[in-house]
Chain A
Amino acid sequence: MAVEVKLPRLGQGMESGTIVRWLKSEGDAVARGEPLYELDTDKVTQEVEAEADGVLLTIVVADGEVDVGTTVAVIGAQDEDVSELVAAAGGDGGVPAAAPVAAVPVAAATVAAVPVPMEEAREEREERVKASPLARRIARERGIELSLVTGTGPEGRVVAEDVEQAAAAPAALAAPPSPGEVEIVQLTSIRRTIARRLTEAWEAPVFQLTVTADATELAGTRERMLQLLGEGDVKPTVNDVLTRLVAAALMRHRAVNALFIDGAIHRYPSANVGIAVATPNGLVVPVVRDADRKSVQEIAAARADLVSRAREGKLQLADLEEGTFTISNLGMYGIDQFVAVLNPPQVAILAVGAIEERPLAVDGELEIAPTMTMTLTCDHRAIDGSEGAEFLRTVKTLIEAPALAL
């Protein structure tokens, strides 16, 4: 015959108690006098003994506060049906025992009156990555997803060195795989972002326009700027001058200086030009704001700051926001020309190749001059071919005669 285990009154004035944890699990044999569970009252925590021999068939209240006299468990014979008894008991106020209850720490058990957070906390514990406190702090500070870092500590624990390696060296720089072995590189959080955003970009219907410009004046302008450099000034690069010229062109072709968001085109009053920067962790595109209103020298200073912080992984979210156009320059790698993938929600991106001396037909004569080939990728939802072509023509004109940007 099954016996209900009721919360006892342990002292005068005791109205309720909090079950901290069960010392026996469902299915365990219990003997009269054996400790059954820990009970917390407002005065003490003590073990409560079983008052009957048998099998602990059901724990009705796993933990939490219950009134004196409430049925918290049922002890009976093996396989005895106690469903009616349990149903009558109701189990109000407590959490039905599902997981091994003994694993619940006391501190967590005291908030057991709200069951959902408890379960979430348990799940979180199960998913928790083993990592040292130091590794956690470094990961938190550098924005590294701990679950993507391979732990080399005892029992696979992620230790500080693992996080530092993940931060400093992209997976490709890790130990080289032995020949013939496939190396599986888990995506870092920045690579996952790149993958997601560029896959999204693929949904846009794009077209490309290519133009080649004579870069003699562009390079010459930069040379003259270098000669006039003040002390402590950042040396402008060709790309800084190009950024300024493209910004000027964008102001003359507002259709290109735009974002495509939720089926509407947002045209911007200033050119916030993103510069694609390769970092050890992957591509980032920090933004030079108001490039149309900055001097080349100011652009160079802004660019130098952004690029150095990008390489150190110290960019802030604000540095990456509100870009209206992007320039991607692979000239330093000797690339002649290439097609860039759109950087949504921006509607256009300019892919810039290397300035190199190439044969050029001028007035029927063959000349050798430094030239540069650029390819504009446009989102056709926002820009038509003619708009893109007009913008690109302006860019070419300004490159060949930078003074016209005034």
Chain B
Amino acid sequence: MPELTYREAVRDALARALREDESVFLMGEDIAEMGGSMAVTQGLLAEFGPKRIRNTPISEIAIVGSGIGAAIQGMRPVVEIMYEDFLTLSMEQLVNQAAKHRTMSGGQVTVPLTIRTQGGAGWSPGAQHAQQLEAWFVHVPGLKVVFASTPEDARGLLWSSIYDDNPVVFFEHRTLYPLKGDVPDRLEPIPLGKARVHREGEDVTVVATGRLVHEALKAAEEAGTEGISVEVVDPRTLQPLDEETIVASVRKTTRCVTAHEAVVRGGFGAELAAVIQHGAFDWLDAPIERVGAKFAPLPFAPAMEQWVVPHAEDVLEAIRRTVARG
């Protein structure tokens, strides 16, 4: 089984879709000759040409808006928003247009648009280039929200996103691009709405997304040496959410920690906690712990940045709290 980086896995899904389907094309800032600011689309211009790998002006609202138009006309555009922080500039198109057309037209119009974007701390990008805003989009009916944490998931989920008839906001994490992992030769689409149990355990379930999946796995390893058996579940798609797998896991382990890099307040962990307390109320043996960034704009100074965002140690402490005594 070939090993691909997370970046290569995303590129592979794009290239395969471009190769197999004339209706697929890419738009974004500097994605053609430059290959995108994160080098994800490198090499695609040479193979597919400027009509299908299209540079755009620096206007996120125009990028998403023209993507919506193309999608309504029968294309399957994949647009790139360089930093998810910049999604704020496209919110009108995304929230009021893309998310609404299908229902407001009584199903006459679909918007099969994929919005790829990335974010995340860990390389000192400052407060305006590293936010984790995925929870905002989960709040909008009509959008689907994906957050892949491994190369295999990134490729299979991106493929399913491109071929979903609804607008999908596809989050990538900046620090995961160099992450390597086995990716099968044959592309297996991963259905949206299916969680992945990364590791089975008996005592505590950690439901983690994005970078924190890997931090949770490290914490689980460490907890194991203390005799605490940890299950790690990655929902992978935040909307639709695989409530069944998550609730079943917590019913088994009776304790739960949610973990994401986004700030705790109003983060996706809050939604998870609500789903879990309702579905597993009589199974809970400890309050659900939430791990996330401290409630502050992300500091630029590397030491401060590291202090604000959560790491394996924070997940481990939360795990310990759920099994605490006295």
Question: Do A159 and B326 touch across chains, with their CB atoms under 8 A apart?
Answer: no
Q: Mark B184-227, 1 if CB is under 8 A from A, else 0.
A: 00000000000000000000000000000000000000000000
B286's partner among A136, A152, A153 (CB-CB below 8 A) is A153
Name the A residues within 8 Å of B282 (CB-CB): 133-134, 136-137
Chain B minimum-CB-distance residue to A157: B286
Taking a contact as CB atoms under 8 Å apart, the answer to whether A152 and B284 are in contact is: no
Report the separation of the CA atoms of residues A153 and B325 in the bound assembly, to the nearest whole angstrom.
Answer: 4
B324 to A135, Cβ gap below 8 A?
Answer: no
Chain B residues whose C-beta falls within 8 Å of the C-beta of A156 in the assembled complex:
326
Chain B residues whose C-beta falls within 8 Å of the C-beta of A152 in the assembled complex: 325-326
CA–CA, A134 to B250, complex, Å?
11
The reply to whether A160 and B285 contact each other, CB–CB distance below 8 Å, is: yes
Contacts of B326 in A (CB 8 A): 152-154, 156
Give bound CA distance, A161 to B284, whole Å.
12
Say if the beta carbon of A132 comes within 8 Å of chain B.
yes
- Asked whether B283 is an interface residue with its Cβ less than 8 Å from the other chain, the reply is yes
Q: What distance in Å separates the Cβ of B141 from its nearest Cβ neighbour in chain A?
A: 25
Cα distance A154–B320 in the bound complex, in angstroms: 12
Taking Cβ atoms with an 8 Å cutoff, the residues of B that contact A are 254, 281-286, 321, 324-326
Report how many residues on chain A are interfacial, defined by Cβ distance under 8 Å.
13
**Which chain B positions have C-beta within 8 A of A134?**
254, 282-285
B202 vs chain A, min Cβ distance (A) = 13
- CB contacts (< 8 Å) of A132 on chain B: these are 284-286
> What 1/0 flags go to A147-158 for Cβ under 8 Å of B?
000001110100
Contact flags (1/0) for A249-285 with B, using CB distance below 8 Å? 0000000000000000000000000000000000000
**Are B283 and A153 in touch, CB under 8 angstroms?**
no
**Cα–Cα, bound, A132→B254 (Å):** 10
Chain A 119-142 near chain B by CB (<8 Å), digits 1 or 0: 000000000000011111100000
Residue of B nearest to A160 (CB): B285
Is there contact, CB below 8 Å, between A133 and B284?
yes
A254 to B146, CA, bound (A): 78
Supply 21 A–B pairs (Cβ within 8 Å), ascending by A: A132-B285, A133-B281, A133-B282, A134-B282, A134-B283, A134-B284, A134-B285, A135-B285, A136-B282, A137-B282, A137-B283, A152-B325, A152-B326, A153-B286, A153-B324, A153-B326, A154-B326, A156-B326, A159-B285, A159-B286, A160-B254
Instruction: For B284, list chain A residues within 8 Å (CB).
Output: 132-134
Set of chain A residues within 8 Å of B321, measured between Cβ atoms: 154
Q: A133-B281, A153-B324 are in contact. List 19 more A-B contacts (CB 8 A).
A: A132-B284, A133-B282, A133-B283, A133-B284, A133-B285, A134-B254, A134-B284, A135-B285, A137-B282, A137-B283, A152-B325, A152-B326, A153-B286, A153-B326, A154-B321, A159-B285, A159-B286, A160-B254, A161-B285
Q: Interface of A with B (CB < 8 Å)?
A: 132-137, 152-154, 156, 159-161
Q: Taking CB as reference atom, which chain B residue is nearest A163?
A: B285
| Minimal beta-carbon separation of A136 from chain B (angstroms) | 8
A-B contact count (CB 8 A): 33
Residues on B with beta carbons closer than 8 Å to the beta carbon of A161: 285
A71 to B284, alpha carbons, bound, how many Å? 46
A135 nearest CB neighbor, chain B only: B285
Closest partner residue, chain A, to B254 (CB atom): A134
Least distance between A129 CB and chain B CB atoms (Å): 15
A154 touches B254 (CB 8 A): no
Most chain A CB inside 10 Å of its own CB: which residue of B281, B282, B321: B282
Q: Are A154 and B285 in contact (CB under 8 A)?
A: no
Least Cβ distance of A255 to chain B in Å? 51
Q: Which residue of B lies closest to A141 (CB)?
A: B282
Cα–Cα, bound, A152→B286 (Å): 12
Specify the chain B residue showing the minimal Cβ separation from A154: B324
Q: For the complex, what is the distance from the CA of A137 to the CA of B254, rounded to whole Å? A: 12
9 closest cross-chain pairs (CB), A and B: A137-B282, A134-B285, A132-B285, A160-B285, A133-B284, A152-B325, A133-B281, A159-B285, A154-B324
User: Shortest beta-carbon distance, B248 to chain A, in Å?
Assistant: 15
Q: Shortest CB–CB separation between residue A71 and chain B, in angstroms?
A: 40
CB-nearest residue of chain A to B251: A134
Q: Whose C-beta in chain B lies nearest to the C-beta of A158?
A: B285
In the bound complex, what is the Cα–Cα distance between A133 and B284 (angstroms)? 6
In the bound complex, what is the Cα–Cα distance between A156 and B324 (angstroms)?
A: 11
* Residue in chain B with minimal CB distance to A152: B325
CA distance A133 to B277 in the complex (A): 10
| Residue on B nearest A159 in the bound complex, by CB | B285
Bound-complex Cα distance A137 to B281 (A):
10
Closest chain B CB from A100 CB (angstroms): 24
- A159 to chain B: which residues have CB within 8 Å? 285-286
What separation, in Å, do the CA atoms of A136 and B325 have in the docked complex?
17
Distance A168 CA – B284 CA, assembled complex (angstroms): 20
Minimal Cβ-Cβ distance residue in A for B321: A154
Cα of A136 to Cα of B284 in the assembled complex, Å: 10
- Cα(A133)–Cα(B254), bound, Å: 10
In the bound complex, CA of A161 to CA of B286 (Å): 12
Q: Chain A residues near B324: list those with CB within 8 A.
A: 153-154
A153 and B281 alpha carbons, distance in the complex (Å):
17
- Determine how close the nearest CB of chain A comes to the CB of B251; give it in whole angstroms: 9
Q: With A and B bound together, what is the CA distance between A162 and B235 in angstroms?
A: 32
A132 to B281, CA, bound (A): 9
Residues of A within 8 A of B325 (CB): 152-154
- Give the chain B neighbours of A160 by CB distance below 8 A: 254, 285
Taking CB atoms, residues of chain A closer than 8 Å to B283 are 133-134, 137
Closest A residue by C-beta to B286: A132
Give the docked Cα–Cα distance between A152 and B326 (Å): 5
Tell me, rounded to whole Å, the shortest Cβ–Cβ distance linking B293 to chain A: 24
B209 to chain A, nearest CB (A): 25
Cα–Cα, bound, A239→B53 (Å): 89
How far is it, in angstroms, between the C-alpha of A133 and the C-alpha of B324 when the chains are bound?
Answer: 16
Which residue of chain A has the shortest Cβ distance to B324 in the bound complex?
A154
- Closest CB of chain B to A57's CB: distance in Å? 38
Q: Give the chain A neighbours of B281 by CB distance below 8 A.
A: 133
Closest to B277 in A: A133
Q: How far is the CA of A153 from the CA of B324 in the complex (A)?
A: 6
A133 vs B325: C-alpha distance in the bound complex, in angstroms? 16
How distant is A153 from chain B, measured CB to nearest CB, in Å? 6
Query: Nearest Cβ in chain A — how far from B287, in angstroms?
Result: 8
Bound CA span A133–B283, Å: 6
Contact residues in A for B286 (Cβ distance below 8 Å) = 132, 153, 159
User: A367 to B286, alpha carbons, bound, how many Å?
Assistant: 68
Residues of the B chain whose Cβ atoms lie less than 8 Å from the Cβ of A137: 282-283
Residues on B with beta carbons closer than 8 Å to the beta carbon of A133 = 281-285
- Give the CA-CA distance A160 to B283 in the complex, in Å: 9
Considering the complex, give the chain B residue whose CB is closest to the CB of A136.
B282
CB distance from B231 to the nearest CB of A (A): 16
Distance in angstroms from A204 CB to nearest chain B CB is 44
